[in-house]
Amino acid sequence: MRLKSFLSSGLFMSGLAAGTSFNSTQPPTGFPPCDALMQAGLEKSILLPTEPSYAARIESYWSLNSRQHPFCIVQPRNAKEVATAMTALLGADSAGDWHIAIRSGGHNSGGANNIDNGVTIDLVHLNEATYDKKTNLASVGPGAKWMDVYAKLAKDDVLVTGGRDGDVGVGGFLLGGGSTFFMGTEGFGCDAVKNYEVVLTNGTIVNANEKAHSDLWLALKGGGSNFGIVTRYDMEALPNKKLAHKVRTINITHAPQIARDFVEFTDNYEKFTNDALVVYLTHNATISKETIVGTIQVNTEGKVNSTGFEKLDEIPDIAPAQYDHITLAEAAAGSQVAGGTWMCEATLTFSNTKGLMKKAISMHERYVRDMKNAIGEENFATMFFFQPMPTMFGDISKRRGGNMIAFDLEEKNAVLWTAGVVVKTNQQDRIHSQSLMNKMTADLKSYSKSIGGATNLVYLNYADTTQDPLGSYGAKNVDYLKGVAKRYDSEGLFQTRFPLGFKISSVGS
């Protein structure tokens, strides 16, 4: 219907009427940017709304927030085709105020990966995961999902530091940093990237690494979608060891002990750098009327009952812990948060203290109460995550060449707090739930400030669109990112024609 109304309006035919002869074998689509893609020889890579595969592709977005309907979806097969698409789209008639979106895994919950009024570049076919033994580098495509990357690399008995949820995509994850099970020895996921292949707005394909375009290499480590389209990540690989992987459920009445043990774990991270801990709170009426605490306790060397978890393990489980000795590929394949609903999220860091942990836990309870009143208990489920963010992660990043995120990790050990909520009803309830969440986030921030426990970092991969993760990197890094964006995209097209995600041009200096 959309397509028809556009066709009949005739408005969007202006590009053709005014333009060059149409030499594609396909009839014009009625959308200047889609016609431009056809003209450029990409007709086999375009999905139009009239095709069944188009609808399936929209459905494949993880959250409902992202299921917009672009004029067409273009699915380039390699970096060269990405460059062709870039040039064709930026050269097309921009009348009608249309814009361009980029999709890799499509897992971002805030809708920054798709667009109604414009074209989406879908990197699904850029999904390689290959290993070169000589260089110990794994080349990973942005459109791949982490579970597939791990499965492919396992054939060479290596792994890379990527996502824990197997359904998350490579592209967005690494641009925001990447929180992984390997932080204690490897820093952020992006710290393993030795080379980025990038398609710039002028259509040139560059490699950014420590020697060539090193400014772009550094900026891409946490700098988000501000410089060009990344078409390949070359990552340092690690041996594919089995993980000791334990998932537990604990009664919320043990919250004070959880807070104490989490803080102690984080403050002593250097003693057990192969351990990874995620603590979460979940209120899910289909499981329980009460909030349940969960922990994910991993040792990346496969060591069972690592001493790092000794204290936590004294807290009794509600149900028998799920204990596995498994590869990262198996862990990721078995761990995928279900999509297909509306999503809200927000994130903060605060200093690693028992008091702030307890405050955050009590704020979750208050949020649940507010949500029950607002949209009804059966219509939502919460997942609030706590992850250690000690200064030593920043030290590791620095040793590996630095990134945009780690500067804030210099002063004190912190907690990475992330609020996530599944809303099962409708967009209106999502908006309401998000505004309650934003209020809670602001309250937690001002509480942490009031007791001298505020830290700056707003982690990009978990941030809501109202937050300012790039600004949280500090004035020096903001200026740096602005300089790099200007050098590689002098016309600022990645800021204007690609408006989604966190844009460096909208950060105040």
Ligand X SMILES: Cc1cc2nc3c(=O)[nH]c(=O)nc-3n(C[C@H](O)[C@H](O)[C@H](O)COP(=O)(O)OP(=O)(O)OC[C@H]3O[C@@H](n4cnc5c(N)ncnc54)[C@H](O)[C@@H]3O)c2cc1C
Tell me which residues touch ligand X (CB under 6 A): 102-109, 112-113, 123, 142, 163-165, 168-173, 175-176, 178-179, 225, 229-230, 337, 461, 500-501
Q: Which residue has the tokens 């109202």?
A: 466
Q: Which of 200, 281, 375, 406 binds ligand NAG (CB under 6 A)?
A: 200
Contact, 123 vs 102, CB < 8 A? yes
Beta strand extents in 300-436 (DSSP E only): 322-326, 342-351, 380-389, 414-423
DSSP of 197-247, one letter per residue? EEE-TTS-EEEEESSSSHHHHHHHTT--SSS-EEEEEEEE-EE-PPEEEEE
Among 154, 150, 184, which residue's Cα sits nearest to residue 167?
Answer: 150
CB atoms within 10 A of CB 369: 12
CA angle 332, 217, 345 (to 5 degrees): 45
What residues have CB less than 8 Å from 405, skipping those under 6 apart?
177, 188, 221, 222, 397, 457, 459, 460, 473
141 binds, among ligand NAG, ligand X, none (CB under 5 to 8 A by kind): none
351 binds, among ligand NAG, ligand X, none (CB under 5 to 8 A by kind): none
Q: How far is the CB of 492 from ligand X (least distance, A)?
A: 16
What is the per-residue binding string for ligand NAG in 37-76, x denoting contact by CB under 6 A? --x-x-----------------------------------
Q: Which of 13, 247, 318, 326 binds ligand NAG (CB under 6 A)?
A: 318
Q: How far is the CB of 109 from ligand NAG (least distance, A)?
A: 12
d(CA 396, CA 410): 11
- The residues in 355-394 that bind ligand NAG, with binding defined as CB under 6 A, are 381, 383
Contact, 233 vs 139, CB < 8 A? yes
Q: Which is nearer to ligand NAG, 154 or 383 (CB)?
A: 383
Q: How far is the CB of 110 from ligand X (least distance, A)?
A: 8
501 binds, among ligand NAG, ligand X, none (CB under 5 to 8 A by kind): ligand X
Q: How far is the CB of 133 from ligand X (least distance, A)?
A: 26
Amino acid code (one letter) for 294: G
Q: Which of 304, 320, 452, 509 binds ligand NAG (CB under 6 A)?
A: 304
- The residues in 281-300 that bind ligand NAG, with binding defined as CB under 6 A, are 282, 284, 286-288, 290
b or e along 463-482 (b: 16 or more beta carbons within 10 Å of the residue's beta carbon)? Answer: bbeebebbbbbeeebbebbb
Question: Near ligand NAG by CB under 6 A, which window of 26-34, 183-191, 279-287, 423-431?
Answer: 279-287
Q: Tell me which DSSP letter residue 123 carries.
A: -
What is the per-residue binding string for ligand NAG in 455-494, x denoting contact by CB under 6 A? --------------------------------xx------
CB atoms within 10 A of CB 337: 14
288 binds, among ligand NAG, ligand X, none (CB under 5 to 8 A by kind): ligand NAG
Told to check if 18 binds ligand NAG by CB under 6 A, we report no
What residues have CB less than 8 Å from 314, skipping those under 6 apart?
257
Give the binding-site size for ligand NAG (rule: CB under 6 A): 25
Sign of CA dihedral 497, 502, 504, 509: positive
304 binds, among ligand NAG, ligand X, none (CB under 5 to 8 A by kind): ligand NAG
Structure tokens belonging to residue 61: 């977005």
Q: Which residue has the tokens 């290499």?
A: 217
Q: How far is the CB of 59 from ligand X (least distance, A)?
A: 15
290 binds, among ligand X, ligand NAG, none (CB under 5 to 8 A by kind): ligand NAG
Q: Which is nearer to ligand NAG, 23 or 509 (CB)?
A: 23
104 binds, among ligand X, ligand NAG, none (CB under 5 to 8 A by kind): ligand X
Coil, helix or strand at residue 87: helix
d(CA 50, CA 70): 12
Write the CA distances from 314 to 257, 279, 303, integer angstroms: 10, 15, 18
Q: Which of 26, 60, 78, 202 binds ligand NAG (CB under 6 A)?
A: 202
Q: How far is the CB of 468 from ligand NAG (least distance, A)?
A: 27
Q: Which is nearer to ligand NAG, 406 or 421 (CB)?
A: 421
20 binds, among ligand X, ligand NAG, none (CB under 5 to 8 A by kind): ligand NAG
| Binding footprint of ligand NAG on the chain (CB under 6 A) | 20, 23, 39, 41, 200, 202, 204, 251, 253, 282, 284, 286-288, 290, 304-305, 313, 318, 338, 381, 383, 422, 487-488
